[in-house]
Structure 1
Amino acid sequence: MPDLRAGLQAKYLPQNRYANFGPSLKSVHIRGFRGVHDLKVDLLYPITAISGLNGAGKSTVGQLCLGAYRKPSTVTEIKRFYVRDFFPASVADPNPFGPDSSVVFEYNTTDPVAPQTLTVARAAKEWSGYKRQPERSCYYIGFTIYIPKVEQRDLSMYRSQQLTLGPQRPIPEGVRERVGRILGQQYDAMHFQGITHGQRSGELGVAQRFGAQYSENNMGFGEGRTLYLVDLMEHSPEQSLFVIEEPETSLHGNAQHELAKYLVDVCHRRHHQVILTTHSSIILDALPADARVMLLRDAAGVAAFPQMSAARAKSILTGGHHRDLSVLVEDTFAKLLLTEMIRRVDPPLLACIEIFEVGNTKAVRSGALLMARIKRPFAAVRDADVGPDPQNGLFSFPGTMPPEREVYMRAEVQARLADEFGIDVAHIFTQHQVDNHHDFTKILAAQTSTLPDFMATLAVRAYLDAIGNAAYQPIVAGIQTRLP
């Protein structure tokens, strides 16, 4: 199946962005809210998953984004959000913002290099800057989107024997199937049942499964919340903005993964923009690097670290209860290459470190900056075409090209693969017009009917034999110096 994440990324390229997503948010720059003194968050993907420790400022970012738009004049059933909705001043909280607090919103426009900029700031006792905002339907999916009826003291519970059933609102088959896919369940049917008691009215979600019918009064929290969330995202106007608080709540691991896939799918189909807060490494891992932002709050304030890997986020969110040293590399091939280098020079070192694949060169640099700021021991090894910066813990692989090119273009490696598989590596790359070095292993493995991991390991070992230990001993020595 095609990777919808890449398809969604293509739709969100600067030259395609406005045509598909309209005046979506490009960035938000926050000054002076809940201890967030000066924070800019770039929104690089239609979905932005903001992670961080409790109190880092995740909800602050999401809630302020809801104040970026006017309600469409054609929409009546939703409310418009203002800054005051989320930051009320009171005797208990006299200063949730300062006198100079402001939010600068950047919106995508028809010109990829000329976003619209608008500032909402404090003017006397009110907030100004709303009038020129573009229109968009905005939805806040906090924890009250679905509160179990028993906790609400809902009429469906305490007046259950005196209810009058009203019309049913059908739930389309597509919604039912998507809810079932997220939860790992197969539903025969779903609908919303209207209910009344006196002057009060409401509705109940009703599901049929395995020949039994039950209402949301007998659903778990995760099941009920997923139903309401999917129904809302499918029936809201296209190009809506959704801010979702911790969508993983009460969902098992696979359901979290499927929910992340659903968010990609619905944004691909309906061109929504989603900003969510999460502590789930499963959700982070299911989204591409451009969708991830880690917030860190310390004595210097709150800082944003984009494109943070799910593994790195997990390490931070669990307080670093992992190995003594985190080593950051770009991808799987780089991890294999570094592992084999260390195995040849200092095998016990592998038990003291954990190697994380964090993405591209920018993500490695961002990860290194974050590790330095939170004072956690780290080292980073970048591709040879970027270069080292050992004083800041950044090292570089041997050569002048990305690791895959250094390895597979080496004559000794090609000879080793010819002996093993009877193939001409250069001819295969020419025949298949392989320009992307990330595809080298996959193409050769397919040609030889072997596993990509086996192919890569053979190639890496032949390469290390050819260049000799002296070529990479300095990298291992540099990592050793970074151990606490």
Structure 2
Amino acid sequence: MEKIILDSVYFNKLKGLNNVNIKFSDTLTAIMGVNGSGKTTVIHALACLYQPDGNGENHKFPEFFVPNTDALWKGSNLNVVNKKAREKADRDPEVMASKCYCKKEDRWSPRYDTRPKRNVYYIGIDTCLPEIEKRNTNSRIMYKSSDLDDNLSRKIIETSAYILNKDYDKLVDNSYNKTHLTGVKLKTGLKYSSLSMGSGEQRVIKIIDVILRAEAYSLILIDEIDLLLHVSALNKLIERIYDIAKNKHIQVVFTTHSIEMLKLTKYVFIQYITNFNNNDNTLVYEKITPDLIYNMTGERSKTLTIYVEDELAKQIVKQIIKKNEMISTTDVITYGSIENAFTLAASFVISNDQELSNKLIVLDGDRYQDNKEKERQINKKLSGSEPSADDKRQKALGLITEFKLPEECAPEKFIHDLILTNLYDKSECKEIYNAANEIKSVLDSHEWINEICNRLDTSVSDIINSIFRYLYDDEKCKKYIKPIEDWVLNHKS
């Protein structure tokens, strides 16, 4: 069996996905986005990339992309990059040559028997349908039951019990009319089959059954993993899937609408798809925040919006708009990963946003300081060659600025140093100064501020609010915030 790992897929054109590269974790990847953005299209395509290597399913493009009056799928095209695990665990996987899948005329290419061998298992939303609703009968259903007591069955029922907080004792096989219905036996002795299960309960057992039975290096695809699950069960499901996937070298890709994923990034790699109607571009965000999702899917009443990387930057920008009496008109939104800044800028230009002049995207200032570096990042998002392409790229670049940091200095270290040099004699900030003075070394630059918060059991917001009344007029601080303050002042009516 080939030890294949999916690295990325570039969708040139497939259904509503256009010119977008989607990356995948070696373990869990969540495909997020609003309805109609292309989430399910992604996993339908992934199901067709491989031929089974043993017990896997053999899905083909016409199964999910059925030719019809409105869509023959001619012109569909995607490029797939796989990696091959090496024999020695300490060596990075070998990146394989890109493989193109397309439909030029009547047939998809390449031939299905030339696809890489890998076992794929697809769990669609039909698994949410209660088993009783699948049975077209009003007659009594009589089945024969037998407890399953092998190691794998015990693992399935133990894992499902943990996720659903149920007192399961045994997994049960119910044989009926040449079919098999999953059942459970509780420690109280009560037994019931999937005919009597709740939909969420039925689906969790199905998912755990599939992933535990799957061979190493399989690909598991799950549409709408959060359907019918309460938050606690979803969190436990993700946690257990991650552990199983990591131990068995299995990749799991699922779609979801659940904002809960933003709390589970230690387990899940997020790809958030934004699709623009009547446009040839789709964009994808990584490590997004609730603020950004709300901004993309809801409405804001404030006229100005400043986008920042993280909570520290957000609180500093809030001090700027507070100082300049712009709180009522300016919103501050975190966008997460710095790469999202360029995706965000591109999305505003692509969508022909009429309020570009009222938007500012702020980088922390410790990366992409050179304009050439920014241009390279924008070119990755706006790679077109149409006559208006250069104008679009310049508009996107014009939305981006950064805090002005000293060279090779993290923003958290910069603020930490300002505390030590400016607050040593300020009685109101004595506790903050003392906590900062005790921190001599950190493993992660964020800890220069986070550790102060931990020591004082307070928030970044409280720290910044306390210290900026003294730091605001400091010469170094004024230089640091100048690009943002200049923009705010230019928009002050």
Distance 1:459 1:23, change over 3 A: farther
Q: Percent identity?
A: 20
- How do residues 69-468 of structure 1 correspond to structure 2 at under 5 angstroms? 69-72=50-53, 75-76=54-55, 78-90=56-68, 92-93=69-70, 95-98=71-74, 100-109=75-84, 114-122=95-103, 125-129=106-110, 130-153=112-135, 158-160=139-141, 163-170=142-149, 172-183=153-164, 185-197=165-177, 200-208=178-186, 212-287=190-265, 290-312=269-291, 314-315=293-294, 318-320=297-299, 324-346=303-325, 349-374=326-351, 375=353, 378-385=359-366, 386-387=368-369, 392-400=398-406, 401-410=409-418, 411-413=420-422, 415=424, 420-421=430-431, 428-430=438-440, 433-446=441-454, 448=455, 450-451=457-458, 453=460, 454-455=462-463, 457-464=465-472, 466-467=474-475
Q: What is the CA distance between 1:132 and its match in structure 2?
A: 4.1
Aligned residues: 447
Are the aligned partners of 1:56 and 1:295 in contact in 2 as well (CA < 8 Å)? Answer: yes
Partner of 1:13: none
Are the aligned partners of 1:57 and 1:302 in contact in 2 as well (CA < 8 Å)? Answer: no
Distance 1:205 1:416, change over 3 A: farther
Aligned-residue CA RMSD (Å): 3.5
Distance 1:462 1:224, change over 3 A: farther
Q: TM-score, normalised by structure 2?
A: 0.78
One-letter code aligned to 2:245: C
Task: After superposing the two structures, state which structure 1 stretch, 418-427 or 330-339, moved more.
Answer: 418-427
Distance 1:252 1:434, change over 3 A: same
Distance 1:452 1:422, change over 3 A: closer
Are the aligned partners of 1:37 and 1:301 in contact in 2 as well (CA < 8 Å)? Answer: yes
Q: What is the CA distance between 1:285 and its match in structure 2?
A: 4.0
Are the aligned partners of 2:145 and 2:172 in contact in 1 as well (CA < 8 Å)? Answer: no
Cα distance in 1 between the residues matched to 2:100 and 2:76: 10
One-letter code aligned to 1:189: D
One-letter code aligned to 2:444: N
Residues 261-297 of structure 1, C-alpha deviation per residue, up to 9 Å, x if partnerless? 3343332222221222222222244236852232313
Q: What is the CA distance between 1:313 and its match in structure 2?
A: 5.4
Q: What is the CA distance between 1:146 and its match in structure 2?
A: 4.2
Task: After superposing the two structures, state which structure 1 stretch, 353-362 or 165-174, moved more.
Answer: 165-174
Q: What is the CA distance between 1:383 and its match in structure 2?
A: 1.3
Are the aligned partners of 2:423 and 2:430 in contact in 1 as well (CA < 8 Å)? Answer: no
Q: What is the CA distance between 1:107 and its match in structure 2?
A: 0.6
Cα distance in 1 between the residues matched to 2:492 and 2:72: 41
Cα distance in 2 between the residues matched to 1:120 and 1:398: 46
Matched position secondary structure for 2:195: helix
Partner of 1:4: none
Distance 1:189 1:300, change over 3 A: same
Are the aligned partners of 1:62 and 1:275 in contact in 2 as well (CA < 8 Å)? Answer: yes
Runs of 4+ deviating beyond 6 Å: 388-391, 422-427
Distance 1:125 1:359, change over 3 A: same
Matched position secondary structure for 2:447: helix
Unaligned runs of 5+ residues in structure 1 are 1-20
Distance 1:210 1:378, change over 3 A: farther
Q: TM-score, normalised by structure 1?
A: 0.79
Q: Work out whether 1:56 is the aligned partner of 2:34.
A: no
Residues 212-265 of structure 1, C-alpha deviation per residue, up to 9 Å, x if partnerless? 544333322122111211221122112211221111111223333333333433
Matched position secondary structure for 1:119: strand
Cα distance in 1 between the residues matched to 2:477 and 2:449: 23
Q: What is the CA distance between 1:404 and its match in structure 2?
A: 0.9
Q: Work out whether 1:478 is the aligned partner of 2:478.
A: no
Cα distance in 2 between the residues matched to 1:210 and 1:392: 67
Cα distance in 2 between the residues matched to 1:407 and 1:64: 47
Are the aligned partners of 2:262 and 2:289 in contact in 1 as well (CA < 8 Å)? Answer: yes
Task: After superposing the two structures, state which structure 1 stretch, 417-426 or 55-64, moved more.
Answer: 417-426
Distance 1:174 1:268, change over 3 A: same
Residues 137-193 of structure 1, C-alpha deviation per residue, up to 9 Å, x if partnerless? 1011111234212211267x7432xx131433347454344334434x232424133
One-letter code aligned to 1:412: T
